[in-house]
Amino acid sequence: MKVDLTNGVSNQNPVELNSRPATTSSSAAAPAETQDRTTLSTSSSAVSTLVSQAMASPEVRQDKVSALKQQIASGNYNINPSKIASGILSEGM
């Protein structure tokens, strides 16, 4: 039996389950043999690699924070309202 969890969206099936039908003998009832198999696509390993890289990176980029603190303390930090407004508007679209 093949189970398609992608609903026909992709040609790759992320999970494939194969079962062998149970056979019974008329003389004695033998336990049913079932074989399950899982196949993961290559994209799952790529996602795992990216998650590992993201988890290994620091939460705060201290070098940038320190540079901004120095600019603010010395009065050299300039804010461009037009650039900020443009960035906000482009994110909304």
Say if pTM beats, i.e. exceeds, 0.85. no
Residue 69 binned pLDDT confidence (cut-offs 50, 70, 90): very high
Res 86 pLDDT > 80:
yes
Residue 47 binned pLDDT confidence (cut-offs 50, 70, 90): confident
Closest residue by Cα to residue 24 from 34, 32, 35, 16: 32
Cβ neighbors of 30 (< 8 A, separation 6 or more) are 23, 24
pLDDT cut 70: percent of the chain above it: 63
Cβ neighbors of 27 (< 8 A, separation 6 or more) are none
Give pLDDT, residue 31: 64
